[in-house]
């Protein structure tokens, strides 16, 4: 059996974490969930993560701040940002920072899976 790439889902909304995990696992991927960027950073398995799906707005560190932190630490992970508050300026800013995709909630399964595929190819 081959090792599946693991996608981390970082979102303060439990229902988003759970439904996103279910979607990824139904597509044959492995997923791990975290309720905050800080919890993700404390995880011992961050080196196994091949793609990060993070909420743009969370208490504490935002998804974009997490992406930048990982880059600055020399441990970049291809990142997909999701948000319930789509804003073209924030989208442009995130893409300029190297984020793979910027999706508005609710996003379609097809859109998320296409972004994950791009992220895994970039990993």
**17-35 mean pLDDT:** 96
Q: State yes or no: pLDDT of 1 exceeds 80.
A: no
The answer to the question of residue 100 being in a domain is: yes
Query: Angle at CA 113, nearest 5°, toward 29 and 43?
Result: 50
Structural domain containing residue 77: 6-122
The answer to the question of residue 1 being in a domain is: no
Q: State yes or no: pLDDT of 29 exceeds 60.
A: yes
CB contact burial 88-115 (16+ within 10 A = b; e otherwise): eebbeebeeeebbbbbeeebeeeebeeb
* Averaged pLDDT score across all residues of the chain: 94
Number of domains in the chain: 1
The answer to the question of residue 43 being in a domain is: yes
Q: At 66, which CATH number?
A: 3.40.50.2300
Tokens found for residue 60: 């504490």
Task: Report the C-alpha gap between 111 and 123 in whole angstroms.
Answer: 18
pTM for this one? 0.94
Share of the chain above pLDDT 90, in %: 88
């Amino acid at each position: 059996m081959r090792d599946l790439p693991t996608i981390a889902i970082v979102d303060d909304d439990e229902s988003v974490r759970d439904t996103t995990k279910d979607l990824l696992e139904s597509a044959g991927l492995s997923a791990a969930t975290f309720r905050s960027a800080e919890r993700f950073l404390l995880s011992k398995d961050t080196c196994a993560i091949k793609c990060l799906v993070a909420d743009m707005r969370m208490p504490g560190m935002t998804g974009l701040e997490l992406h930048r932190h990982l880059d600055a630490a020399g441990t970049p992970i291809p990142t997909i940002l999701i948000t319930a508050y789509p804003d073209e300026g924030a989208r442009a800013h995130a893409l300029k920072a190297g984020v793979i995709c910027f999706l508005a909630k609710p996003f379609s399964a097809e859109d998320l899976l296409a972004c994950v595929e791009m992220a895994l190819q970039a990993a």
